[in-house]
C-alpha cells in the first residue's frame, strides 16, 4: 500500500509540475495537439504539413528538436483578397492561393512583414499594398515570390541587412539616453551592442513612428518597443516619434538583454559581433530562450558553434528564417574587439 501511495504522489507531482510550468514539456517532449510557445506567439504541436500558418521547430515541441513535430502558430490575417494565414514566403508556393503584401502590422494585419506575409486561399494574384484596405493589384503571379523584402517604412528602399563592420557607420547619432547606450558609431565593448548589431536590429524591426499592433496584438512603437512594458508611456509620447527617439527607446530596451547575454557562462570570451548577435536573439526570443539554446555551447566556450547553431533555432518547415540568418552572418563576421562582459558568477 505504501508503494502505491508513493507512486500516486510521484504521478501527481509530475502533473502539477507540467501544468505549472509551460516549459516543462520542452524537456520531456510534447505530443501532437499540445500547446507550444514561440516568438510568433502561442501555437500547437503537430505535423508541419497540417499547419495553415507558421511552423517553428527546434525544442518548441520536444527537447530533441524533432522536425516531424513542430510548433504551428496560426495567425489569421484579413486583407482585400480575403481571409488568410501568416506564412513564410521562403517555404515556396502554396497551391490554391497566393501571398498578399503589406507594410502595416495593425489588428487586421498581424503578419510581421519581411518573409512572413499573408497567404490567402483561392486568391489568384499577389497584392502589394501600402495599407491593408487598399485594393491595388500588382502583376505578380501566384508562383512568383518577391525578390525584395518589404519593410515597415514606406520611404525606405533598403532591401539588405547591413551587418558588415564599417570603420565608420553612416547612422546619425541619437540624442543619448546615457553615455553607455549610444552605440551608433561604436564597435562594441563595455558589454554594449555594437553599431552593426544596432543597424541590423533596426532593419529587422522596421521603424513606425505611431503606435501599432505587432504580430501577436501587442501595442508597439519605434523599432519594436513594447508599450506594455510601461503602460501609458507610449500614449504619453508626442506622435509620430522621430527615428532618433525610436533608437533611444531601442537602446534602453536592449540593456536588459545585454545583461542577459553577459550572464551566460564564459560570456567574457565572446567578441563584439558574437555578443551583438546574441543580444538581437534575446531581444526577439527572450532571455529564457537564449539560455536554453546556448548555455551548453557557452559552457564549452564553443563560440563559433553558437554562430553555426543560430540559423537552426527558429525555422519554418525546416528552413531558417531571414532573421536568424542575419544574426548568424553578423555572429560569424571576424572581430577583434571583445564584448566587454565580465562573465557570470
Q: Break the chain into its structural domains and give their ranges.
A: 23-73, 76-129, 195-332
Give residue 168's pLDDT.
34
SS3 content of the chain, % helix, strand, coil (to 5): 35, 20, 50
Helix (H/G/I), strand (E/B), else coil: 202: helix
The more confident residue out of 103 and 236 is 236
Give residue 330's pLDDT.
96
Grid coordinates standing for 83? 481571409
Tell me the pLDDT tens digit for each residue of 49-83.
778 777 776 556 764 444 567 778 887 777 777 88
Grid coordinates standing for 90? 521562403
* Phi/psi of residue 56, nearest 5 degrees: -125, 125
DSSP 304: H
- Given a cut of 70, whether residue 115 has pLDDT beyond it is no
Poorest-pLDDT segment among 195-199, 231-235, 266-270: 231-235
Enter the CATH code of domain 195-332.
1.10.530.40
* Burial (CB count within 10 angstroms: exposed 0-12, middle 13-18, buried 19+), residue 190: middle
The 54-56 sheet, strands edge to edge? 35-38, 41-46, 70-73, 54-56
Residue 288: pLDDT band with limits 50, 70, 90: confident
- Given a cut of 90, whether residue 191 has pLDDT beyond it is yes
Give residue 307's pLDDT.
96
Residue 200: pLDDT band with limits 50, 70, 90: very high
Residue 250: pLDDT band with limits 50, 70, 90: very high
Give residue 229's pLDDT.
78
Distance (Å, whole) CA 55 – CA 58: 10
- Given a cut of 70, whether residue 130 has pLDDT beyond it is no
Residue burial 39-67, b: 16+ Cβ < 10 Å; e: rest = bbbebbbbebeebbbbbbbbbbbbeebeb
Grid coordinates standing for 1? 500500500
Give residue 246's pLDDT.
94
Poorest-pLDDT segment among 12-21, 218-227, 296-305, 307-316: 12-21
Under a CB-based contact definition with an 8 Å cutoff, are residues 293 and 278 in contact? no
Mean pLDDT of the chain: 71
Give residue 15's pLDDT.
43
Give residue 111's pLDDT.
67
* Burial (CB count within 10 angstroms: exposed 0-12, middle 13-18, buried 19+), residue 191: buried
Residue 189: pLDDT band with limits 50, 70, 90: confident
List 44's β-bridge partners, or say none. Answer: 35, 72
Give residue 197's pLDDT.
95
Length, in residues, of the chain: 345
Give residue 280's pLDDT.
94
Place of cell 555594437: 194
- Given a cut of 90, whether residue 222 has pLDDT beyond it is yes
- Given a cut of 70, whether residue 118 has pLDDT beyond it is yes
Under a CB-based contact definition with an 8 Å cutoff, are residues 255 and 289 in contact? no
Paired sense of beta strands 54-56 and 208-213, if any = unpaired
Distance (Å, whole) CA 220 – CA 284: 14
Under a CB-based contact definition with an 8 Å cutoff, are residues 333 and 307 in contact? no
> Among 181, 189, 195, 185, which residue's Cα sits nearest to residue 253?
181
The more confident residue out of 86 and 28 is 86
> Among 208, 240, 204, 244, which residue's Cα sits nearest to residue 225?
208
Contacts of 181 by beta carbon, 8 Å cutoff, 6+ apart: 192, 248, 251, 252, 254, 255
Average pLDDT over residues 231-252: 91
Average pLDDT over residues 124-138: 41
Tell me the pLDDT tens digit for each residue of 227-236.
887 778 898 8
Residue burial 105-127, b: 16+ Cβ < 10 Å; e: rest = beeebbbbbbbbbbbbeebeebb
Amino acid at each position: 500500500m505504501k508503494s502505491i501511495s508513493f507512486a500516486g504522489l510521484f504521478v501527481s507531482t509530475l502533473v502539477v509540475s507540467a501544468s505549472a510550468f509551460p516549459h516543462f514539456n520542452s524537456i520531456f517532449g510534447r505530443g501532437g495537439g499540445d500547446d507550444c510557445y514561440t516568438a510568433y506567439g502561442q501555437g500547437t504541436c503537430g505535423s508541419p504539413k497540417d499547419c495553415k500558418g507558421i511552423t517553428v521547430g527546434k525544442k518548441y515541441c520536444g527537447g530533441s528538436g524533432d522536425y516531424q513535430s513542430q510548433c504551428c502558430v496560426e495567425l489569421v490575417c484579413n486583407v482585400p483578397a480575403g481571409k488568410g494565414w501568416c506564412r513564410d514566403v521562403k517555404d515556396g508556393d502554396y497551391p490554391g492561393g497566393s501571398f498578399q503584401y503589406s507594410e502595416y502590422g495593425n489588428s487586421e494585419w498581424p503578419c510581421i512583414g519581411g518573409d512572413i506575409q499573408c497567404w490567402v486561399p483561392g486568391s489568384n494574384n499577389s497584392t502589394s499594398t501600402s495599407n491593408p484596405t487598399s485594393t491595388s493589384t500588382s502583376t505578380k503571379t501566384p508562383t512568383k515570390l518577391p525578390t525584395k523584402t518589404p519593410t515597415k517604412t514606406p520611404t525606405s528602399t533598403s532591401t539588405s541587412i547591413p551587418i558588415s563592420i564599417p570603420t565608420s557607420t553612416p547612422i546619425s547619432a541619437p540624442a543619448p539616453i546615457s553615455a553607455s547606450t549610444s552605440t551608433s558609431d561604436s564597435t562594441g565593448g563595455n558589454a554594449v551592442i555594437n553599431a552593426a548589431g544596432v543597424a541590423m536590429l533596426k532593419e529587422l524591426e522596421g521603424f513606425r513612428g505611431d503606435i501599432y499592433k505587432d504580430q501577436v496584438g501587442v501595442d508597439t512603437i519605434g523599432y519594436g518597443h513594447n508599450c506594455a512594458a510601461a503602460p501609458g508611456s507610449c500614449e504619453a509620447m508626442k506622435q509620430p516619434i522621430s527615428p532618433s527617439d525610436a533608437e533611444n527607446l531601442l537602446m534602453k530596451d536592449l540593456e536588459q538583454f545585454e545583461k542577459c547575454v553577459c550572464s551566460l557562462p564564459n560570456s567574457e570570451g565572446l567578441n563584439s559581433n558574437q555578443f551583438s548577435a546574441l543580444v538581437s536573439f534575446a531581444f526577439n526570443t527572450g532571455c529564457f530562450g537564449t539560455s536554453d539554446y546556448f548555455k551548453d555551447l557557452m559552457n564549452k566556450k564553443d563560440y563559433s558553434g553558437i554562430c553555426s547553431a543560430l540559423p537552426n533555432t527558429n525555422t519554418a518547415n525546416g528552413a531558417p528564417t531571414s532573421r536568424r540568418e542575419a544574426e548568424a552572418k553578423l555572429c560569424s563576421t571576424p572581430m577583434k574587439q571583445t564584448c566587454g562582459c565580465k562573465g557570470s558568477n
